[in-house]
Structure 1
Amino acid sequence: MTLSSRFLLLSLTALSGASALSVSSAHAATSDSAEVAALRREMAEMRQEMLSMRSELRHRNTFPTNHDGRPASDRGEAHSWKNARAAAAHTPNDYNGAPEAGIGFNQQARINYHASGDGRPASDRGITSSWEDFKRASAGTEVVQIGGMKIGFPNGRPTIQSEDGKYAFSVGLAFHEDFGGFMGVTPRRGEATGKFNSFTSNARRLRIPFTFRYKDWVANVTPDFGAGNNDGTVGLYEANLNYAGLRNTILTVGYFQPRVTEEDAESSNDFEMMERPGITDIVRNISASDARFVVGGLHYEKRWWLAAYFTGQQFGGRNGNGYYGGDGAISDSQTGGMLRAAGRPIATKNWDLHLGISAMSAFKPNNGAHGRSFTFSQRPEVNLGEDSLLGTGAITNVAQVWAAGPEVGLRWKSFLIKSEYYHIGVNRSRDASGQSLSNLNFSGWYVAANYTLFGTPRAYNYKEGAFAAPGVKENQEFNPATGHWGALEVTGRYSETNLNSQPNSATGVRGGNQIVWSGGLNWYPNRHFRVMLDYNHFIDQRTNHDGLVNIAGRNGNSVAARVQAAF
Structure 2
Amino acid sequence: MKHFKRTAIASVINLALFGIPDAHADTEALERRIRELESRLEKLDHAGVLSNKPVTSAPEVEKLTRKVNTLERKLEVQDEVTASTFSKLPVFDAGADGFKITSADKEHQVRIRGAVQADGRFFIDDNSKAQDSKHNDLYRQNDRFEIRQARIWLEGYFFKNIFYKIMPDFAAGSNILPDAYLDYAYHPAASLLVGKYKPSISLERLQGDSDGTFLERGFPTYLAPNRDVGIQLHGAFSKPGYKTETVAGPIDSKNTFIYQIGVTNGTGDDGSPNNDAKDTDDNKEIDGRLFAHPFQHTGYSWLEGFGLGVAGSVGNPNKQALKPQSTPIGRSIFLDYTKVNSGFATPTSDGATYRIYPQAYWYSGPFGAIGEYVVSSQHLVSGNTNVKQNNTAWQILASYVVTGEDNSFSGVKPIRNFDPFNGRWGALQLAARYTQLDVDNDTFRILDPNKSASGAKAWTIGANWFLNSNAIIRADYENVSFDGGAAKGGNRPNEQVFATRFQLAF
TM over 0.5: yes
Tell me if the contact between 1:541 and 1:554 (Cα under 8 Å) persists in the aligned partners. no
1:299 to 235, 253, 257: 235
Separation in 2 of the partners of 1:258 and 1:512?
Answer: 27
Separation in 2 of the partners of 1:175 and 1:549?
Answer: 43
Cα RMSD for the two superposed structures: 3.7
- Is 2:310 the counterpart of 1:357? yes
Tell me if the contact between 2:322 and 2:349 (Cα under 8 Å) persists in the aligned partners. no
> 1:462-481 alignment to 2 at 5 Å?
467-473=409-415, 476-481=416-421
Tell me how far 1:340 sits from its aligned partner.
Answer: 1.2
1:490 is matched with which residue? 430
> 1:322-361 alignment to 2 at 5 Å?
323=274, 331-332=280-281, 335-347=284-296, 348-351=300-303, 352-361=305-314
Tell me if the contact between 1:261 and 1:340 (Cα under 8 Å) persists in the aligned partners. no
**For structure 1, which segment, 165-174 or 530-539, has the greater mean C-alpha deviation from structure 2 after superposition?**
165-174
Separation in 1 of the partners of 2:257 and 2:140?
Answer: 43
Tell me if the contact between 2:230 and 2:265 (Cα under 8 Å) persists in the aligned partners. yes
Aligned amino acid, residue 417 of structure 2: E
Aligned amino acid, residue 220 of structure 1: K
1:262 is matched with which residue? 203
Tell me how far 1:425 sits from its aligned partner.
Answer: 1.2
* Higher relative contact order structure (alpha carbons within 8 Å, sequence separation ≥ 6): 1
Aligned amino acid, residue 346 of structure 1: F
SS of alignment partner, residue 280 of structure 1: helix
Tell me how far 1:179 sits from its aligned partner.
Answer: 1.0
2:154 is matched with which residue? 210
The one-character-per-residue Cα deviations of 1:390-409 (angstroms, maximum 9, x if unpaired) are: 34445336202211021122
Gaps of 5+ in 2: 5-53, 55-67, 239-254, 339-345
Tell me how far 1:148 sits from its aligned partner.
Answer: 1.0
Separation in 2 of the partners of 1:396 and 1:190?
Answer: 28
Separation in 1 of the partners of 2:421 and 2:78?
Answer: 58
Aligned amino acid, residue 72 of structure 2: A
Cα distance 1:517–1:549, how it changes in 2: closer, same or farther (>3 A)? farther
1:560 is matched with which residue? 499
Tell me if the contact between 2:337 and 2:447 (Cα under 8 Å) persists in the aligned partners. no
> 1:129-208 alignment to 2 at 5 Å?
148-153=89-94, 156-187=97-128, 189-191=130-132, 192-194=136-138, 196-208=140-152
SS of alignment partner, residue 402 of structure 2: strand
Tell me if the contact between 1:270 and 1:469 (Cα under 8 Å) persists in the aligned partners. yes
Tell me how far 1:169 sits from its aligned partner.
Answer: 1.3
Tell me if the contact between 1:495 and 1:516 (Cα under 8 Å) persists in the aligned partners. yes
Aligned amino acid, residue 222 of structure 2: D
2:461 to 519, 532, 546: 519
- Is 2:178 the counterpart of 1:237? yes
SS of alignment partner, residue 313 of structure 2: strand
2:329 to 382, 399, 410: 382
Tell me if the contact between 1:486 and 1:526 (Cα under 8 Å) persists in the aligned partners. yes
Tell me how far 1:534 sits from its aligned partner.
Answer: 0.6
Separation in 1 of the partners of 2:368 and 2:219?
Answer: 20
SS of alignment partner, residue 440 of structure 2: strand
- Is 2:480 the counterpart of 1:538? yes
Q: TM-score, normalised by structure 1?
A: 0.64
Tell me how far 1:376 sits from its aligned partner.
Answer: 4.6
Aligned amino acid, residue 504 of structure 2: A
2:377 to 425, 439, 443: 425
Tell me how far 1:417 sits from its aligned partner.
Answer: 2.3
1:224 is matched with which residue? 169
SS of alignment partner, residue 74 of structure 2: coil
- Is 2:354 the counterpart of 1:402? yes
**For structure 1, which segment, 256-265 or 272-281, has the greater mean C-alpha deviation from structure 2 after superposition?**
256-265
Aligned amino acid, residue 311 of structure 2: S
Tell me how far 1:264 sits from its aligned partner.
Answer: 1.3
The one-character-per-residue Cα deviations of 1:445-489 (angstroms, maximum 9, x if unpaired) are: 111110001152213xxxxxxx2211124xx11122332222110
Aligned amino acid, residue 566 of structure 1: A
Separation in 1 of the partners of 2:371 and 2:352?
Answer: 27
1:89 to 43, 48, 72: 72
Separation in 2 of the partners of 1:324 and 1:162?
Answer: 32
Tell me if the contact between 2:128 and 2:139 (Cα under 8 Å) persists in the aligned partners. no
The one-character-per-residue Cα deviations of 1:305-324 (angstroms, maximum 9, x if unpaired) are: 11111111569x999xx758
Separation in 2 of the partners of 1:212 and 1:417?
Answer: 31
**Percent of pairs with identical residues:** 17
Q: How many residue pairs end up in the alignment?
A: 407
- Is 2:439 the counterpart of 1:499? yes
SS of alignment partner, residue 395 of structure 2: strand
Cα distance 1:484–1:241, how it changes in 2: closer, same or farther (>3 A)? same
Separation in 2 of the partners of 1:505 and 1:309?
Answer: 34
Tell me how far 1:235 sits from its aligned partner.
Answer: 0.9
Tell me if the contact between 1:193 and 1:549 (Cα under 8 Å) persists in the aligned partners. no
Separation in 2 of the partners of 1:313 and 1:502?
Answer: 24
1:312 is matched with which residue? 265
2:216 is matched with which residue? 275
Cα distance 1:212–1:195, how it changes in 2: closer, same or farther (>3 A)? farther
Separation in 1 of the partners of 2:434 and 2:276?
Answer: 29
Aligned amino acid, residue 518 of structure 1: T
1:252 to 193, 218, 223: 193
Tell me how far 1:254 sits from its aligned partner.
Answer: 1.1
2:395 to 420, 442, 446: 446
Separation in 2 of the partners of 1:225 and 1:396?
Answer: 30
Cα distance 1:201–1:331, how it changes in 2: closer, same or farther (>3 A)? same
Tell me if the contact between 1:343 and 1:356 (Cα under 8 Å) persists in the aligned partners. yes
Tell me how far 1:261 sits from its aligned partner.
Answer: 2.1
Cα distance 1:504–1:323, how it changes in 2: closer, same or farther (>3 A)? closer
Tell me if the contact between 2:293 and 2:306 (Cα under 8 Å) persists in the aligned partners. yes
SS of alignment partner, residue 293 of structure 2: strand
Aligned amino acid, residue 214 of structure 1: F
1:529 to 471, 477, 481: 471
**For structure 1, which segment, 512-521 or 409-418, has the greater mean C-alpha deviation from structure 2 after superposition?**
409-418
Q: TM-score, normalised by structure 2?
A: 0.71
Tell me if the contact between 1:234 and 1:323 (Cα under 8 Å) persists in the aligned partners. yes
**For structure 1, which segment, 253-262 or 195-204, has the greater mean C-alpha deviation from structure 2 after superposition?**
195-204
- Is 2:407 the counterpart of 1:458? yes
Separation in 1 of the partners of 2:465 and 2:229?
Answer: 35
Gaps of 5+ in 1: 5-53, 55-84, 104-145, 460-466
